[in-house]
Amino acid sequence: MEREALEQLLGRRLSLAEIGRRVGVHESTVSYWEKRHGLEAVDRDRSAARGGLARERLETFVHAGMSIAQIAEAVDRSKATVRHWLSEYGLRTCRAERRRIMASGAWRLTLECHRHGMTQFQRRGKGGYRCLRCRSEAVARRRRRVKEILVGEAGGACQACGYNRCLAALEFHHRDPADKRFALSHRGVARSLAKARAEANKCVLLCSNCHVEIEMGVRSLS
């Protein structure tokens, strides 16, 4: 390699590996010509051997939940170097340990959820695992959304007394019990919106008090 060309590339603060990629040769060849011309790479100090990483320091980073990339940045080393020393000490990052556990194929596992901390996860049919508490909360939110839609379509208030302050206190009363296919729970609706809407069309919207009175025969619907 010509000294002038190599000096220009080094002056642009390119590493030996980057120069090698640009001119189509191995970085060892670039290193040879660098020494031959009496030049010095900008990453010479960084790439010099600096010894291993201490186990105690790596353990601190692992216990803090840091990824390999975060550890590499903290110790100013490459990810390959961090990965090597983690393997040397038999350590795993939280993410690597999670992948190892999930690869076991167990039906339920105790893993860390970003919202609920350490909790139970269950394998999904499509692959992977999901926090059971997150799943339960998602189901509850969906039930509430479906009920909100049905209540709005039914007038939004008790058809007997006009009560409308609390969604949970509003219930669906079947006009003809013989037409009832399933109950529309006060906790929400677990069926699809289409099926729930078809069932709600057979009902009248009542508050819980009026519903009980009508069921007990204390009052009747007009």
- Are 141 and 193 within one domain? yes
- Are 177 and 200 within one domain? yes
158 within a domain of the structure (yes/no)? yes
Alpha-carbon gap, residue 203 to 100, rounded angstroms: 52
Please, are residues 204 and 159 in contact by the beta-carbon 8 Å criterion? yes
The domain boundary, picked from 32, 64, 94, lies at 94
129 within a domain of the structure (yes/no)? no
- Are 31 and 60 within one domain? no
Strand order in the sheet with 117-123: 108-113, 117-123, 129-131
Write down the pLDDT at residue 135: 92
- Are 183 and 208 within one domain? yes
Residue 207: is it exposed, middle or buried by C-beta count within 10 angstroms (0-12/13-18/19+)?
buried
- Are 207 and 152 within one domain? yes
Alpha-carbon gap, residue 77 to 85, rounded angstroms: 11
- Are 25 and 89 within one domain? no
Tell me the residue range of the domain where 81 lies: 55-94
- Are 43 and 59 within one domain? no
121: left (phi over 0), alpha (psi -120 to 50) or beta: beta
Write down the pLDDT at residue 123: 86
- Are 42 and 60 within one domain? no
In terms of Cα–Cα distance, which of 71, 69, 68, 77 is closest to 49? 77
- Are 75 and 34 within one domain? no
- Are 153 and 198 within one domain? yes
Q: How many domains does the chain have?
A: 3
Write down the pLDDT at residue 47: 46
25 within a domain of the structure (yes/no)? yes
179 within a domain of the structure (yes/no)? yes
- Are 207 and 148 within one domain? yes
Write down the pLDDT at residue 48: 47
101 within a domain of the structure (yes/no)? no
Please, are residues 14 and 22 in contact by the beta-carbon 8 Å criterion? yes
For the chain, 222 residues long, give each residue's pLDDT as a single digit of tens: 888 888 888 887 777 778 888 888 887 788 888 888 888 765 555 444 456 788 898 989 888 878 888 898 888 888 888 888 988 888 888 777 767 766 777 888 887 788 888 889 898 877 788 999 999 999 889 989 999 999 999 999 999 999 999 998 999 999 888 888 888 765 556 678 899 899 999 999 999 999 999 989 888 877
- Are 161 and 193 within one domain? yes
